[in-house]
Each structure stands twice: as C-alpha cells, then as structure tokens.
Structure 1
C-alpha cells in the first residue's frame, strides 16, 4: 500500500489504509478464502484461511479506488495525532539472524478509524527466539487486537492484556498448523490522552524517565522470579540453572507469545501497568534484553541526555547511542531500542541542565558512553 499512499502525510495515509481495509472486509471475500488441510488442526477440523496474495490484491484495488475519490473530495477525517519525536535503532549485532521487530504507530486512531476525541499512540518491541515467525506475527497482530477490543475505551489495560492472550492463542493455532516452534517476548506502550499503559511478556522492558531520573515500570518475567518459579513448578515444569535460569532447561524467559513446545509452562498471559502523565515526564524507552543485558535502568537517562547534550539537542540518534553503549558493554544479542520523547527534546535537555547542584555541578552523569564502557570492564 505504500506506493499508493506515497506522498501522503502519515495521518492521511493511515486514514486511507483504514478506509481501504474497511471497504475490503465489507465485500464478498468467498473468492479469497480456502480451507486448510485437516492435519495439525484441533479434532481434525478444517480452518477457513485467507489467501494473502488474493486478499492483498483486493485491498489494493479498494485503496486505489478510494484514493481517486478522495482526490476529488476529501471526507471529514479524525483530528491529526499529537506529534511525537521517536528515535528508533535496531541491529542484528553478532547474531546470525535478526529476530527483533518493532512498531511505531502515532497514528493509532487514524489507522483504526477511532474518533472518540482521545489521542492514542502505540509503540512496541518484540524480541523473537527460535525464528522470526512469532515476532512477525505479534508485531502485525497485537495492536490490531487492541484496537478491536470492546473494552479499549473503558479499560485500556485490560485491552492490552487480553490482546496479548488472543495473539498468543491465534499464533499457537498457526504454529500447530505450520509446525512453527518460535516464540517472542514483547513490551508495548499505549499512550492514551494523559495516561500511559505498558504491557509486557518476558524480559523486554520499558523504562520511563522523569526529570532526568529513571522510573521502574515493570518486573520482567524471568524463571528465577519466585512467583514465576512457583507457577511453573505447580504445572509440573522445572526451573534449572544452565548458564542462567531456564524453564525446563531451555528458555530463559517464563512468558512469551508462541513457544508451542513449552506451553503452559511458558505463559502467554501478559502483565500491565498504568499511570497518569503529569507533563514532567521526559521520555520513554522500550527495548529488548539485548540492551538491558549490559545497560542498567539507572544508566539510561544519562546516556540519552548525554547524547542530547553532545549533539546540541539532536534527538534522532538517541536510540543509536543506547545501542552503541550496549555493544561496547559486551552485548552480543540482537538489540532494538525505541526512545519516545514525551516533551520537546531541547526542553528536556535544558531542564535537566538547569537542575544543577549549589556547586554548579550537574545532578546527572552525562558521560554515558564512557560510563557504560567502565561498567563493562
């Protein structure tokens, strides 16, 4: 669809996409549906599946038709989304394959035709393992399930949590049908008006920075957590130490989408936290464990603020600065980082620099790269 929408603003492209998908789903789809083979399905039942190529062709046809109509007369559209400064950087690093995926969707309402007057933006990082299928699936489906959840407006936290579960359940059906063994951790942030909702599975993490200091939002799902160990053992599984704590001697995370061979010990049920935003929050960082393996949460503010200071407020490279610090610290994993600025980056830097001590010394350590290098040594 990108070719048809080329040249359009992001909000307009999102609204066009929504209109095209809506029109496609309204039509007769019998010609693009087929029945799967019975092998691998529950009780030998067949499943009705879409032919991807045929469905895409139908949707592109609708998109071209709607684009032509809108060029003649533009319909009323949802209000433009709040602008966000988002820095993103992802590298394969020393791994053979890149199994991370990330989603940046400030146009959440426009993409799904939500017109209730509440601004929404969605950001996510998925860290795949055992292949990229689960991460691809989660990056494609979680936000769709959130948008279609009947409780989104009343209880966004529940919508996020249950969307993780629904995505896990539908991916497991796909995994059984196609004999896939991959899984993925994930962390998602939904900014809704003046509230922040964060949902997670596994050890990908989100950290909020407020007035230059980190705010811990979550406790990652690792097998060594007492509640996770008790849950796994109560189901008949075990937690053993093999270089690190692992579920049944294999996975180093205790919750994930997918991992069909490790269900139910590796749970697909996520956790959610919600908090109000008062306007003093600086930025939000979402990243996979490839970052946090060598960069601690308290180091995150200094690394980002250090980059802003060294580059005169330039914010596009903030995520890359975190990735570079993780690499220098010895991380060999895939690394994906999103930095979502909740205020203007220049204002963030100015306010933090102004918060010096009585001896005119800064309160924050801006020597991020050097500090990370020393930490690794």
Structure 2
C-alpha cells in the first residue's frame, strides 16, 4: 500500500509541481456557480476526490489529502470570495445567506490540495493511511433507454478519514440516489448527505437517529438552493452505514437495500410507495390524494411518496427518512443497494443466485492477464454489479439502473457457496 501511495504522489508532483496560476482553467469543474459556506464542505471534498481519483490515487490516501486541504481552506479568510448582492425579488431573503463565488474559492482549495500533496511526496507520513476493512465494492450504472441519467451513487469506505471523524470506530458509507425531474437533487444528496451525517452528535451512539437527521438536514439545505436557483427536481435515496458490528439502512422513496446472509436474501426495509397503505393514509390525512395515472402517484404527480426535494408537493411527498439497524453476525455475504430501475425488474429472491452465477463465471482474460488467482477473483467480484444491471435490462427495465454490492466476506467463500436461495424476513 505504501509503495502504491508513493508512486501516486510522485506522478501527481510531476503534473502539479506548483500552485495553479491565477486565471488558468481549473483541472476539474466546480459543481455550482455559487455556494454557501456549509455547501463548501461537500463540494470541495467532492472536487478533490474527483481530481485525485482521475489520477489513480488510492482511496485512503485521497480521503486524508482532501480532509487536510479542506481544513486548511476553512482557516482562511473567505470574505474576499463573497458574492455581490444581486437585485431581485428574493434579495431580502438572500441577505441572510452568505454566498461564495465557487470557482474562485475552489481554486484556493485545489491549491491547498496541491500544497498538501507536494508536502507528502517530499516527506511521506510515518503512519500511512490504513487499508479499508471492507473487502470489495462492485458498482455499475447505466442510463438505459431514458433520455438522461439521473442516478448518483457514492461508495465511501474511508468515511472517517475523508470527514475528519475522530473515533476508533471506523464507518463505511454507501448510497444510491435516484433523481427525477432532473439530476440536481440526486447530485446534491450525493455531495452533501454524508457530510451532514458526519456532523451529527448522535452518530457514534445512535446511528439511526443520526441518519434520519442527516436526510432531513440535506433536504432543508437543498430547499435553499432550489429556491435560489429555481430548481424543481427530487430524489429518492438509500444509504447503508456500517459501524462496529452494525449495519444501518436509511431510505426515502423506492430505492432499496437488501442483505444476503449465508446465501439467503434478507429483507431489511419496505420502500415508500404511494400505494403502501400507511403512506396512502399519511398523504390523505394531510389532505392529499393517491391516484392511478399509469402508476400510483401523489396528487397525480410524483410516483414516490418520500423524497429529498419535490418542494411543490411537500409535505405530501415527505422528507422524513426511515431507518433500521441490523446486527452483523459474521455470516453475512454482502449488502446490495439499487434504485427502482433494478428492483422493478428483479425480485430480491433472485439476487443470491444471480450473484453466485456472476462470481463463478470465468474472468475475461483481457481483464486479468497473467494475474494470480486472488486478483482474478477480485476482477470477477468487480464485474458482478455490471452483470446484475445487464440482467435487469434484459428482464425489461427501461429506467436508469444503478446497482452497488458491498461484499462482507472474501469472494472465494461466496464462489464456493451452494445454498438453496430463498428469502427470509428479518
């Protein structure tokens, strides 16, 4: 691991031997034109991760570099980057929110990142970043037949390192967001929800409460951006947080997570759909209605009853997430997260068999070459999500599809499984 990190630092120093020159184009584009100070945290970390990932940085090293650069950025006086007030109908409200010129402030962040990285290339830390305790994550997503891709996802085994969480309990965070009416809400949630989660005081003691509050806070943050920029999109979301020997799942809408334990599918959650009896009752109690227009919809509009965004239909489309926590016993195979584009075409009970078959399929020689058997198995594991996505498309899904598998035991143990597939309710 140290050799890989040193190799990356050397390559990076050759490409960026000094700070970016004023006026030169940024090597990675900011997500927004203007940001609040709170949004600066998530957008800077995302920008740094994208820059480093595109150059092959090890994930653990990337997380530590981004956190160090952000910490330095926040020590600066950011008042020179405050936006001038723009005349308009919302001027009085905007005076309450300080907005920063994103490109200018992100240039400072990227220069801090370059400075930190150059420092590490010359003086490598005595305690290099530890490897992730989680074995493999396989992710694949496609636009499919839709005009636009509105799904976003995030796999963050280095949660503590990226977000500066000071705890001996390492957290790993995985999320899938399925946008509708545009990708803005999904992008926003993928950029900010994990940051909001890291700031919850209850994170170490009550993960369920922390996740619910992080969803709510992200929805409130997006409301401000949607109002400023006249955005109308929304997104469902499912988040898995692994902490100590607990796996917590929080969700809004019909994206889902499922666990496979000993080759058996375990139901963790019930997606929020308008025709779910308790969701229908909640909407009707608020004065809304559930109608069938090709599918069941809230007030004849959205096909989900809970989401981040969709402010024209709040509170009927609720921003309150549900959460369940499961104790990990050590015999878990993997957890799968996916949007409705997958689960509308594939039954959860089919998943264990599909994954087993994908793992047993011989690796493409072009993928592994002369690699040893262990690396060959790794390559097979990384392809699993791709094969599940292909299966959902062949089964009739025309929607965007995103599938993420987080393996919780060595892949060679899963390849040898011969369990009878079945679904069990936890």
Q: Tell me if TM exceeds 0.5.
A: yes
Equivalent runs, 1:155-170 vs 2, <5 Å = 155-170=206-221
Alignment of 1:190-209 (within 5 A): 190-209=241-260
Please state whether the residue corresponding to 1:98 is helix, strand or coil.
coil
The answer to whether structure 1 residue 25 and structure 2 residue 74 are counterparts is: yes
Match of 2:204 in 1: 153
Contact 1:151/1:159 (8 A) holds in 2: yes
**1:95 corresponds to 2:146:** yes
Tell me, yes or no, if the aligned pair for 2:349 and 2:421 is still in contact at 8 Å.
no
Q: Counterpart of 1:276?
A: 327
Give the match for residue 120 of structure 2. Answer: 70
Residues 37 and 116 of structure 1: is their aligned pair in 2 closer, same or farther, counting only changes over 3 Å?
same
Runs of 5+ in structure 1 lacking a partner?
356-362, 366-377
Please give the alpha-carbon distance, in whole angstroms, between the structure 1 residues aligned to 2:390 and 2:240: 23
Q: Deviations over 1:16-48 (max 9, x none)?
A: 100000110111110122255464649644221
Quote the residue 1:321 is aligned against.
387
Asked if the contact 2:52–2:62 (Cα under 8 Å) also holds between the matched residues in 1, the reply is: no
> What SS class does the counterpart of residue 317 from structure 1 fall into?
helix
Using a 3 Å threshold, how does the CA distance of structure 1 residues 48 and 215 change in structure 2: closer, same or farther?
same
State the Cα distance separating 1:144 from its structure 2 match: 0.7
* 1:332 shift after superposition: 0.6
| Residue of 275, 282, 294 corresponding to 1:231 | 282
- Compute the displacement of 1:153 (Å): 1.2
CA–CA separation in structure 2 for the residues paired with 1:225 and 1:38? 45
Specify which of 35, 51, 62 is matched with residue 13 of structure 1: 62
| Partner of residue 132, structure 1 | 183
CA distance in 1, matches of 2:289, 2:250: 26
Match of 1:189 in 2: 240
Q: Which residue in 1 is equivalent to 2:100?
A: 50
Q: Aligned residue for 2:399? A: 333
3-state DSSP class of the match of 2:121?
A: helix
Query: How do 1:219-298 and structure 2 match up within 5 A?
Result: 219-298=270-349
Conservation of the 8 A alpha-carbon contact between 1:81 and 1:119: no
CA distance in 2, matches of 1:101, 1:280: 30
Q: Structure 1 residues 308-317 or 24-33, which shifts more?
A: 308-317
**Whole-Å Cα distance in 2 between the matches of residues 38 and 155 of structure 1?**
44
CA–CA distance in 2 between the matches of 1:42 and 1:342?
51
**SS where residue 97 of structure 1 aligns?**
coil
C-alpha separation in 2, matches of 1:216 and 1:60: 43
- Taking a change above 3 Å as real, the CA distance of residues 347 and 213 of structure 1, as seen in their structure-2 partners, is same
C-alpha contact 2:181 2:233 (8 A) present in aligned 1? yes
**Bigger mean CA deviation after superposition, 25-34 or 249-258:** 25-34
Q: How far off its partner does 1:158 sit?
A: 1.2
Cα gap change, 1:291/1:4 in structure 2, threshold over 3 Å: closer, same or farther?
closer
| Paired residue total | 356
Are the equivalent residues in 2 in contact too, given 1:322–1:337 (CA < 8 A)? yes
Query: What do the CA deviations read for 1:102-151 (whole angstroms, capped 9, x no partner)?
Result: 10111111101224211211110000000000000000000111112222
Q: Which residue of 2 aligns with 1:369?
A: none
TM-score normalized by the length of structure 2: 0.80
Corresponding residue for residue 409 of structure 2: 343
Q: Which runs of 5+ in 2 are unaligned?
A: 1-47, 364-376
